Amino acid sequence: MLTFPIRLRLRKTCKDVAKIVITTLVTLLIVYYLIIPSNHRQQSVNINADGRRIFFHETSGRGNLNFRQCCAIESVAKHNSGRPVQLLISGDRLDDSTGPWMDILKDHYANVAVFLVDNGNYFSGSPLQKWYENGEWRDSRFRTAHLSDYIRLVSLYRHGGLYMDLDYVVLKPLDEKLLHNVLLVEGADGKQLNNGVIHFEPGHRLIKELIQYLAAEYDPEDYYLHGPTALTNVYIRLCSSNNGTAGRIKRKSSVCPDVSLLSYKHFCPIGPPFWHLYFEEASRQSLSMINSSYGVHLWNFLSSNEPIRMGTRQLYAILAAEHCPITANRFNQFIAT
């Protein structure tokens, strides 16, 4: 005769437990979506093919940006407000505790999107998946640079767009017509191409050829092979039957009418031998050298330890104050430069 009350109590207990579970789940969801920033939740990359986008890869794994990197992205976003600007950060999480970079990019520039990249998923299904999974690159002293050289090609082939390294400062709007299916000639001698600024539409044959080349060629001890050297070799092989690596690369190729070459003056007006000019007091000569350029290259692999002196006549400090003003104003909030 006690069965009926026991059943009622069991039903009531089950309902109470269900309410507690549901309430807990709802509370967790509210905390998850309202308190934890969306950028920290993002685990996958869903990017549409878009030849108009301008994008960057940060491959150190630390999950944040330093001052120079934030300045690079702000300068692009500031001068190209009508184009999507995408930052892809490789790592397990995004870390905005070491500087104001996230606030600067997300709160002030509506055209900027930040993506957290799982490298394994990103390379999966690409011809470079085996290279990534073999993991030889992880033991290289150049692993961050090599990962950057490879992952940008996956991005270019799948999604297209204008890729830029994070040690540039853009000085004016980027001409979409000029910077279309384009490679940058690195120096005045015209013998080598630069992979720090490169635009291609999705699926372009030159990028496909370059990916196939790098899938078969890897040297963990060579800094340049997988970047400028590989790009130069593939371009010569694919686009110029009359040129050798010892000669100047022709600006126009009848074999590759769908690829343009751009003078170094557009983005590298001050070459590697003179990188120190960016960290010295601006002179009439140094200012005239960059006057007509779309951007400048800081050659970070040479200059990364140079101090930045905001508020002085240092050339880089002047450029930062004008072209990434929000980043420049919050310079002291960056722990590392």
pLDDT tens digits for range 110-121: 999 999 999 999
CA distances from 162 to 38, 184, 186, 218 (A): 26, 12, 17, 25
Within a domain: 275? no
Q: How many separate domains does the chain show?
A: 1
Q: Which domain holds residue 179?
A: 54-266
Report, as an integer, the average pLDDT of 299-305: 95
What is the average pLDDT score of the chain?
A: 87
Q: What distance in Å separates the CA atoms of residue 314 and residue 196, rounded to the nearest whole number? A: 24
Q: What per-residue confidence (pLDDT) applies to 255?
A: 86
Within a domain: 112? yes
Within a domain: 233? yes
Q: What per-residue confidence (pLDDT) applies to 221?
A: 95
Q: What per-residue confidence (pLDDT) applies to 336?
A: 52
Residues 6+ apart with CB under 8 A from 208: 157
Q: How far is CA 62 from the centre of its chain?
A: 14
Q: What per-residue confidence (pLDDT) applies to 34?
A: 37
Q: What stretches of the chain adopt beta strand conformation (E)? A: 54-58, 85-90, 112-117, 161-164, 168-170, 182-185, 193-200, 260-262, 295-297
Q: What per-residue confidence (pLDDT) applies to 58?
A: 98
Residues 6+ apart with CB under 8 A from 76: 54, 85, 164, 170, 174
Q: What per-residue confidence (pLDDT) applies to 253?
A: 76
Q: What percent of the chain has pLDDT over 70?
A: 83
Within a domain: 12? no
pLDDT tens digits for range 92-104: 999 988 889 999 9
Furthest-apart CA pair in the chain: how many Å? 102
Q: Domain of 230: which CATH number? A: 3.90.550.20
